[in-house]
């Protein structure tokens, strides 16, 4: 019973956060970019620290190098948020195009099955979204990340509320 309440409350918080982000996608984009920057800094620092805990080896050097790179990326995102939003939006758009193309290619062996059109449609939609984002850059950068965050929070919120309201079998 308490788990249902936790799911419901978490869902309500996600849904509320998603609606706030949807109505102010620029602020949500800046927030997401800053969170990403600080995560890069913390993860990079932990990775760099871990490299000093090992004896000298190629692995220790590579771990330290990756940690330093993470810190550098994080500091650049935190110090230059507008450029960070544009860079992250480029990455998201490129990811959409590449993942869309991959899904389209993966759909071909499934011709004749019920999954072909689903995978083909999903791939085409991802590729088109990526192309639209790229076509609108840099002007679209201010709202793309925030809007995607809003959609994900709303979707997650609805799912969590559903879990909180769901009646488990046998109860």
Q: Is residue 167 part of a domain?
A: no
Give residue 145's pLDDT: 87
Domain with 137 in it: 2-160
DSSP string, 68-116: HHHHHHHHHHHH-HHHHHHHHHHHHHHHHHHHHHHHHHHHGGGTTSTTH
Q: Is the N-terminal amide bond of 106 cis, ω within 30° of 0?
A: no
Residues 135, 73: Cα–Cα separation, whole Å: 25
Give residue 25's pLDDT: 92
In tens, the pLDDT along 139-169 reads 888 888 899 889 989 988 888 888 888 766 5
| Count of the separate structural domains present in the chain | 1
In tens, the pLDDT along 127-144 reads 998 999 999 888 888 888
Q: Is residue 168 part of a domain?
A: no
Residues 157, 15: Cα–Cα separation, whole Å: 4
Q: Is residue 63 part of a domain?
A: yes
Q: Is residue 97 part of a domain?
A: yes
Residues 6, 31: Cα–Cα separation, whole Å: 25
Q: What 8-state DSSP symbol labels residue 65?
A: H
Within its chain, how far is the Cα of 60 from the centroid?
29
pTM exceeds 0.85, yes or no: no
Give residue 171's pLDDT: 52
Chain position carrying tokens 């965050």? 149
Q: Is residue 41 part of a domain?
A: yes
Q: Is residue 93 part of a domain?
A: yes
Residues 72, 55: Cα–Cα separation, whole Å: 24
Element (H, E) at 47: helix 25-52
Residues 75, 38: Cα–Cα separation, whole Å: 8
Residues 145, 134: Cα–Cα separation, whole Å: 13
Positions in the chain whose pLDDT score sits under 50: none
Give residue 2's pLDDT: 60
Q: Is residue 86 part of a domain?
A: yes
Give residue 1's pLDDT: 52
Q: Is residue 170 part of a domain?
A: no
CB 73, CB 48: distance < 8 Å: no
């Amino acid at each position: 019973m308490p788990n249902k309440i936790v799911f419901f409350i978490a869902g309500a918080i996600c849904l509320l956060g998603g609606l706030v982000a949807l109505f102010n996608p620029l602020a949500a984009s800046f927030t997401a970019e800053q969170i990403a920057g600080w995560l890069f800094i913390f993860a990079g620092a932990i990775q760099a620290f871990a490299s000093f805990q090992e004896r000298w080896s190629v692995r220790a050097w590579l771990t330290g190098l990756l940690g330093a790179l993470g810190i550098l990326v994080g500091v650049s995102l935190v110090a230059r948020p507008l450029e960070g939003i544009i860079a992250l939006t480029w990455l998201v758009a490129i990811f959409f195009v590449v993942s869309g193309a991959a899904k389209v290619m993966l759909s071909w062996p499934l011709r004749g099955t019920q999954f072909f059109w689903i995978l083909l449609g999903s791939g085409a939609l991802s590729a088109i979204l990526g192309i639209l984002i790229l076509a609108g850059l840099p002007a679209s950068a201010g709202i793309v990340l925030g809007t995607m965050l809003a959609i994900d929070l709303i979707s997650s919120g609805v799912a969590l509320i559903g879990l909180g309201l769901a009646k488990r079998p046998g109860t």
